[in-house]
Amino acid sequence: MTNKKTINWVLGGIALLVLPLILQYFGNAWVRIADLALLYVLLALGLNIVVGYAGLLDLGYVAFYAVGAYIFALLASPTWQTTLRSSQRCSPKDCISRCGW
């Protein structure tokens, strides 16, 4: 029984590894959809571990995930260099007054 279960897990893992390679022949959109779906699966597994096995609801790791995603998107954007140069030219007082504080 456990040997059959192990084989099923290994075959499932191999299928997930090969999935993006197969989907890229059907267009880039399918790879993005599969990537997003697998990302949500990872988040659901993390929530299952925290809530199911530990028995407590702590969504702090989601906040770290969100901050990491925001910083990555900011650093990967093509306008990052322009934003960095414009923020270096102004003083902290100017930046605060621009925000309306």
Domain boundaries of the chain, sorted by first residue? 1-56, 59-101
Residue 100: helix, strand or coil by DSSP?
coil
What is the rounded CA–CA span in Å between residue 35 and residue 40? 9
Residue 79: helix, strand or coil by DSSP?
coil
The two three-digit tokens of residue 35, written as one number: 């990537």
Residue-by-residue pLDDT tens, the chain, 101 positions: 578 889 998 998 898 888 878 888 888 888 788 888 888 888 888 778 777 776 666 667 778 878 888 888 877 877 777 766 666 666 666 666 655 55
